[in-house]
Amino acid sequence: MTSKSDWLSFPDAPHIVVPPPGPRSRELLAEQARLETDAIGYPHYFPIAPKVAQGATIEDVDGNRFIDWVAGISVLNLGHRHPRLVAALEAQSHEIWHALELPTEARIRFLRELEGVLPGGLRGHARIFFTVTGGDAVETAVNLADFAQGKQGTVAFSGAYHGVHGGVVNLTSGRRYHSTSYFGTGKVIRVPYPDPYRPVLGADKGAAGTIAYLEHLVNDPSSGVDAISSVLVEPILGEGGYVVPPDDFLPSLREFCDRHHILLIADEVQSGLGRTGRMWAVEHSKVTPDILCIAKTVGGGIPLSVVAYRSDLVKELPRGFHLGTYRANPLALAVGAETVRVLKEGDLIDQTRSRGEQLLSRFRSLADRHPSIGDVRGKGFMIGVEFVHNRTSRLPWGDRGKAMRAALLGRGVLMHTAGAWDQVLRFMAPLIIEDELLDRGLAAFEDSLESLDATPERTATTSPQVPHRAEPAPHLHPPPEHAIPSPVMPERPGRNLEEKDAS
Ligand SMILES: Cc1ncc(COP(=O)(O)O)c(C=O)c1O
């Protein structure tokens, strides 16, 4: 993709000078473990202490250089310290750092840039709500939908991850805050996500089963559902395992929502801003949501999130409908505006689409040689490689996922898991990654697979220096039928134990 002269990454990565964690990393990890809560997860998954990062690479304090296929969980679509973002940050740092909701130039520049790239019917017809995190954006979006609809009831899907906000407003005392936040009494209607690999409602045959179920919820007075205000959907499941739904899913969901005057909220926190080879994942199916949640890459690595909503959705929102001191930080806005500009100017997103297709077939050809890989799916640089105990049962192999993560780390490649059992290795490199680093990462992936195949029951290794709690052994039962997966799946570990966290 690039000539050596314009590499953004450390060109010699992966380069392991001492098996990670090296001595200095161990010191910092131990100090972190002493001082910080033990509720944090990432030091267990990637026991290294980063020092400096460039493009798609990270160097740790021991001088090890890693290829970064995690990208801060899709925060760094433009990689670490992209020169144009560094320049934008530096310029803004000489102006103003905090300005509440006042219209700084950075703020207006950001709004204009974002307006120019919104999907379909939202472009030119949207208003923007600033928030700080992904969860914050989703919470605001759902509140907005409930306010606009004058009723509550959100369809959310199995496997969904939308953050862990919600609820704190109940501790705030003002009635006016309670009157626009519905989380205290919020109603969630859980519907199976159409997962073609693990179909629950016939997702292997398209979206019809899911839509029929939704129709039943609306039409049958005894369905148990009183009202539906909105449907909240990830166009591709993120934390749930990089599950790509059938092509007709989003268009059918759009039609369903239109038929019943239900609002469609797309959570593009992880899939947005070029990640899937389009600016927005919804653009693959030409669907425009009524409300779009944007976070992660939109701040280029500085906390910033946004809700874009159809301007005709509500006539007027009460002042202070949603609040937060740090919304729309000028430093984040300056970097965010430049991020959007970089993404829309060049052909990076088109390249991500075509390079993603090549990568999919390269991962699939690995699957041809390694039966522990049950499925490979994805779009752009959002690719999931799912490990199973065997292809007939499709029983998820979480230990293999975790062992792969550890084996890759030892080879200088950072790659995270996803899925309820950590059974999916997810490829989410920065979009700017050089081709050579893809080749080297794939070689490390195959090498790791081969070494694990040679010792099949090896489980994930964790640094002995990093205190960790034992993971309960998964209960593996003989699987009757992959189409009815719930009774045969290993039990998901409790949140406080080993569940990976999302960022
Ligand atoms: C799809 C999706 N929505 C929301 C969130 C929550 O974002 P945050 O961690 O910034 O609250 C995440 C985080 O991974 C996500 O993947």
- Which of 100, 85, 88 minimizes the C-alpha distance to 130? 100
The model's confidence at residue 314, banded by pLDDT at 50, 70 and 90, is very high
Whether domain 4-68+348-488 has CATH 3.90.1150.10:
yes
Report the percent of the chain where pLDDT is more than 90. Answer: 81
Mean pLDDT on 21-42: 96
Average pLDDT over the chain, rounded to an integer: 90
Answer yes or no: is pLDDT of 493 > 50.
Answer: no
Q: How far is the CA of 119 from the centre of ligand 1 (A)?
A: 20
Q: How far is the CA of 114 from the centre of ligand 1 (A)?
A: 19
Q: How far is the CA of 502 from the centre of ligand 1 (A)?
A: 7
CA-proximal residue: ligand 1, atom 4 (nearest): 162
Mean pLDDT on 59-73: 98
Contact 127, 308 (CB under 8 A): yes
Q: How far is the CA of 161 from the centre of ligand 1 (A)?
A: 7
Distances (CA, A) of 296 to 116, 304, 336: 19, 7, 10
The pLDDT value given to residue 491: 53
**Atom of ligand 1 at shortest distance to CA of 268?**
1
Answer yes or no: is pLDDT of 278 > 70.
Answer: yes
Mean pLDDT on 56-70: 98
Answer yes or no: is pLDDT of 210 > 50.
Answer: yes
Query: Could you report the per-residue pLDDT of 165-204, keeping only the tens digit for each?
Result: 767 777 776 777 777 777 655 689 999 999 999 999 988 8
The pLDDT value given to residue 481: 39
**Atom of ligand 1 at shortest distance to CA of 295?**
10
Query: Could you report the per-residue pLDDT of 318-344, keeping only the tens digit for each?
Result: 998 988 999 999 999 999 999 999 999
**Atom of ligand 1 at shortest distance to CA of 138?**
4
Answer yes or no: is pLDDT of 471 > 70.
Answer: no
- Ligand 1 probe mutation, 233, 269, 275, 416, most atoms within 8 A of CB: 269
Beta-carbon neighbour count of residue 434 at 10 Å?
22
Q: How far is the CA of 149 from the centre of ligand 1 (A)?
A: 25
Query: Could you report the per-residue pLDDT of 284-304, keeping only the tens digit for each?
Result: 999 999 999 999 999 999 999
- Residue 303 sits at φ, ψ, to 5 deg, of -55, 125
- Which one has a higher pLDDT value, 3 or 386? 386
Q: How far is the CA of 320 from the centre of ligand 1 (A)?
A: 23
Query: Could you report the per-residue pLDDT of 91-103, keeping only the tens digit for each?
Result: 999 999 999 999 9
**Atom of ligand 1 at shortest distance to CA of 296?**
10
Report the percent of the chain where pLDDT is more than 70. Answer: 88
Answer yes or no: is pLDDT of 164 > 60.
Answer: yes
Contact 338, 361 (CB under 8 A): no
Identical fold, 4-68+348-488 and 111-324: no
Residues whose beta carbon lies within 6 Å of some atom of ligand 1:
73, 133-135, 138, 161-163, 234, 238-239, 267, 269-270, 295, 502-503
- Ligand 1 probe mutation, 275, 296, 302, most atoms within 8 A of CB: 296
Distances (CA, A) of 126 to 285, 310, 332, 403, 418: 20, 5, 21, 45, 32
Answer yes or no: is pLDDT of 479 > 70.
Answer: no
- Ligand 1 probe mutation, 270, 292, 417, 499, most atoms within 8 A of CB: 270
Place of tokens 């910033």: 304
The pLDDT value given to residue 185: 57
Tokens of 201: 């409602």
Q: How far is the CA of 134 from the centre of ligand 1 (A)?
A: 5
Terminal alpha carbon distance of the chain: 29
What are the boundaries of each domain within the chain? 4-68+348-488, 111-324
- Of the listed ranges 88-102, 222-236, 445-459, the least confidently predicted one is 445-459
- Which one has a higher pLDDT value, 71 or 39? 71
User: Which residues share a beta bridge with 50?
Assistant: 60
- Of the listed ranges 152-156, 174-178, 346-350, 496-500, the least confidently predicted one is 496-500
The pLDDT value given to residue 174: 73
What topology is assigned to 111-324 in CATH? Aspartate Aminotransferase; domain 2 (3.40.640)
Q: How far is the CA of 466 from the centre of ligand 1 (A)?
A: 26
Answer yes or no: is pLDDT of 248 > 70.
Answer: yes
C-alpha 111/C-alpha 101 separation (Å) is: 13
Mean pLDDT on 200-213: 92
